[in-house]
Structure 1
């Protein structure tokens, strides 16, 4: 837990620092785990490397909208051209059809989003008038408790004084106005959107705690923590007399106001939640722990025991662990036998930070060799976690690619793994190996979507088992469809389009 004597989060600032500056995060790396950790031992910072060519990249606005639109009694304004807000319609389709019995909360899901609809004329003369109009319209149409204003590249380039407009307009409307500086050009690390969202929530919505609620646990919950995961956690918390408050997905504004009163803020992904955890602790004294994520049996045991320290539920947690292990372990042993009894297989992992360090260890337990791990980005936090994995299972390749499928295709072509496990944003169409999903979106309420906690280990194991036993679809696609890349690409080095470049910002580790 960060000490109060070293305050890292400054809520007087309009937004958070970008991750290039705050964590020294990089988005281009190719090498072995041993190269990565040996460099860190020597005290070297990860060098910033620039791509001369990219097929795509993440967007801070998209990352922000996908999460904050789920705050149930709020309204979201995308301050930009209407095209920047088109994704909100898809989110409505995804989230609002969830049957009541599968919701991890009480009440309906009614998502509200509008666009300020900036045009070429607004870019010349300014968008203040349209933003004020959008605030008034959202207030009258939805009567929300908060209005979240997501800033786009366009509003940033125009130089609209969003904070000044919000300060002025707040006197005219009842909802809390929450500006989020998620302009796409702010950072080349799309995960910086997590920090700007957290900064805005803590700065504008969270209130000073009146008391410490010993039965409330704040759960940092990104999109990869599905409803299947949430429902499983609620089931276990009900057994031990605890209440889960998920941040920010599907929370109410009042729940976010009171989150500073939680007994502890627990992680599911360090990359997603550490900024908010630090902000709540440094400003309101809310306890937290950052490690481990509750993926895998041993990590989940540690995770629950950490929570017990802050809630006084040590006895109840130990009983819960015993009951869950009695259910999981016999089934897990049968799963291991069914996979280990076959020829040795290999796996290529494309995942976010939490799964990137969990899946290699779990795959090794199942008798599957780790060919390589691909992540969106690297910072010192994940390097430290990779070191623990390296000490347990040995060396493997690591690649940070920031959504570059041509580089992933290069690795798969060279390593020829038997299975490729992938998250929703990191897929490849043409591959000979079997494909398994790391996770679906948070609206997935099916039991199979649960991959966290004790029973999630079984579910993910079954997903790998099915993929290994059924490779025919991908083999057919590989054989019958033309390759999107020419043969010369596979003869080049994977770093052909990457060059080292001095980053002008101040990086701190």
Structure 2
């Protein structure tokens, strides 16, 4: 079990091109930052898809209620899916006074007796961090007693933003799981997928292509992942950061400790999926693999272009505004452009500096990078004559007021937009939204009001 992570070390990241040049450190705590998602939520988002581990929230019941089942992260795990269950120590006023460590020990004993998971991840929260509960000591004792990994996750909400919490989740995995088990076999094309949470099954859109190429996913962090696999992740030949850069600290440290290089890819849209597959093959350094990948990409693109032809005719001249967060500010913009839709604006309010650069690259000089989308998006709809708004559920009312089509693309969405087949799903949703008469009817005056 590794040492407790130091927040200051995570705020400056040498592997991030923007960190050394900024006046303030990456993800520095600012007043009100946690209102957009706290560090505890970020850590849970990063680790929650491990379905064979129990995620025990050491804190008040409200922390559990506000965090679990936040994303549709399906799993093929054949056993009991613990992501569908909530576990908490339910810290009360008495525990604040007398300490909650005994309650944590009892909770772990109960879980082991009734559920027998592959690991228990114990999350510190604001209350238990403030009263000084030593979850490291409790986890160390429990691990010796029960013989399975007990992982302390030090990401209480008050330390910073959701993005920082994701990094802290990665630190916990690196300290307590990675390198604690050897794989039964290795191959020259073993990779880890880092930052892939399999939201709505995104990962399953492209992993069959990797399997066809002979590339084996040794471990994921953490979509459809297994604790036993992440323990062997130190034997991978390559770490692949999928879209998001919040876990770049983890990949940099794995490169330093285990010599594993890393690359960053996106599997949204035709261009990025094709470029990602080719870049992955090139990074693995095998000429035959590169040639097989080029053949596969040519085949998949030809199939996709044939399927998309009728959609592209329908989308000619259509303009869209994108109001989402993080890497989706540019990855979904790329996918929309592959469909022939012009993206006139995207939100970068929750984006990293790297995300902002990519958004500018995809949208061009005339595209608007919205820093305050709540007030900007309505004005941009009027100015550009946009036909479509893609955002979270709260922006639906803007679309209704402006009588333009709307698609929910945040984590509440039900379909995957990843990979080649996911682009077809997006095309169908865009078509249905544009042809849905409700958006032109809903804001009209009633006949008796005319």
The TM-score normalised by the length of structure 2 is: 0.82
Paired residue total:
431
Contact 2:193 2:241 in 1 (8 A): yes
Contact 1:335 1:461 in 2 (8 A): yes
Helix, strand or coil: the match of 2:191? strand
Q: Which residue of 399, 406, 426 corresponds with 1:435?
A: 406
Cα separation, 2, equivalents of 1:408 and 1:162: 45
Cα separation, 2, equivalents of 1:55 and 1:221: 21
Question: Structure 1 pair 44/74, CA: closer, same or farther in 2 (3 Å)?
Answer: closer
Question: Structure 1 pair 134/256, CA: closer, same or farther in 2 (3 Å)?
Answer: same
How far 1:304 moved relative to its partner? 1.1
The corresponding residue for 1:420 is: 389
The corresponding residue for 1:202 is: 174
Matched, 1:261 2:261: no
Helix, strand or coil: the match of 2:147? coil
Cα separation, 1, equivalents of 2:77 and 2:318: 41
Greater Cα shift, 104-113 or 174-183? 104-113
Q: For 1:59-138, what aligned pairs fall within 5 Å after superposition?
A: 59-86=38-65, 90=69, 104=76, 109-111=81-83, 113-138=86-111
The corresponding residue for 2:192 is: 218
Contact 2:13 2:249 in 1 (8 A): no
Q: Deviations over 1:344-399 (max 9, x none)?
A: 43321122333312333444455544332113423332233234325xx3322222
Helix, strand or coil: the match of 1:267? strand
The corresponding residue for 2:154 is: 181
- Consecutive unaligned residues of structure 2, counting only runs of 5 or more, are none
Q: For 1:5-20, what aligned pairs fall within 5 Å after superposition?
A: 12-14=3-5, 17=8
How far 1:143 moved relative to its partner? 1.7
Question: Structure 1 pair 89/457, CA: closer, same or farther in 2 (3 Å)?
Answer: closer
Cα separation, 1, equivalents of 2:359 and 2:445: 38
Q: Which residue of 273, 288, 308 corresponds with 2:262?
A: 288
Matched, 1:278 2:278: no
Greater Cα shift, 12-21 or 69-78? 12-21
The corresponding residue for 2:310 is: 334
Helix, strand or coil: the match of 1:251? coil
Q: Which residue of 307, 310, 313 corresponds with 2:280?
A: 307
Task: Name the structure, 1 or 2, with higher relative contact order (CA <8 Å, separation 6+).
Answer: 1
Helix, strand or coil: the match of 2:250? helix
Contact 1:195 1:275 in 2 (8 A): yes
Question: Structure 1 pair 459/439, CA: closer, same or farther in 2 (3 Å)?
Answer: farther
Q: Deviations over 1:199-241 (max 9, x none)?
A: 10111011168585324322224446431x2222232223222
Q: For 1:36-75, what aligned pairs fall within 5 Å after superposition?
A: 45=23, 56-75=35-54
Contact 1:224 1:440 in 2 (8 A): no
- Consecutive unaligned residues of structure 1, counting only runs of 5 or more, are 1-10, 26-39, 482-509
The corresponding residue for 1:324 is: 300
Helix, strand or coil: the match of 1:72? coil
Helix, strand or coil: the match of 2:36? coil
The corresponding residue for 1:377 is: 350
Greater Cα shift, 125-134 or 103-112? 103-112
Question: Structure 1 pair 322/356, CA: closer, same or farther in 2 (3 Å)?
Answer: same
Greater Cα shift, 378-387 or 138-147? 378-387
Contact 1:166 1:179 in 2 (8 A): yes
Matched, 1:158 2:131: yes
How far 1:82 moved relative to its partner? 1.4
Cα separation, 2, equivalents of 1:246 and 1:79: 25
Cα separation, 2, equivalents of 1:105 and 1:233: 18
Question: Structure 1 pair 435/56, CA: closer, same or farther in 2 (3 Å)?
Answer: farther
The corresponding residue for 2:420 is: 454
Q: Deviations over 1:306-362 (max 9, x none)?
A: 22231732232122112211211222333222211xxx4332112233331233344
Contact 1:61 1:184 in 2 (8 A): yes
How far 1:145 moved relative to its partner? 2.4
Contact 1:18 1:186 in 2 (8 A): no
Helix, strand or coil: the match of 1:148? strand
Contact 1:80 1:154 in 2 (8 A): yes
Question: Structure 1 pair 233/151, CA: closer, same or farther in 2 (3 Å)?
Answer: same
How far 1:16 moved relative to its partner? 5.1
Q: Which residue of 248, 256, 260 corresponds with 2:222?
A: 248
Contact 2:345 2:367 in 1 (8 A): yes
CA RMSD after TM alignment: 3.6
Helix, strand or coil: the match of 2:179? coil
Question: Structure 1 pair 190/319, CA: closer, same or farther in 2 (3 Å)?
Answer: same
How far 1:180 moved relative to its partner? 1.0
The TM-score normalised by the length of structure 1 is: 0.73
Cα separation, 2, equivalents of 1:110 and 1:130: 21
Question: Structure 1 pair 257/362, CA: closer, same or farther in 2 (3 Å)?
Answer: closer
How far 1:46 moved relative to its partner? 7.8
Helix, strand or coil: the match of 2:162? coil
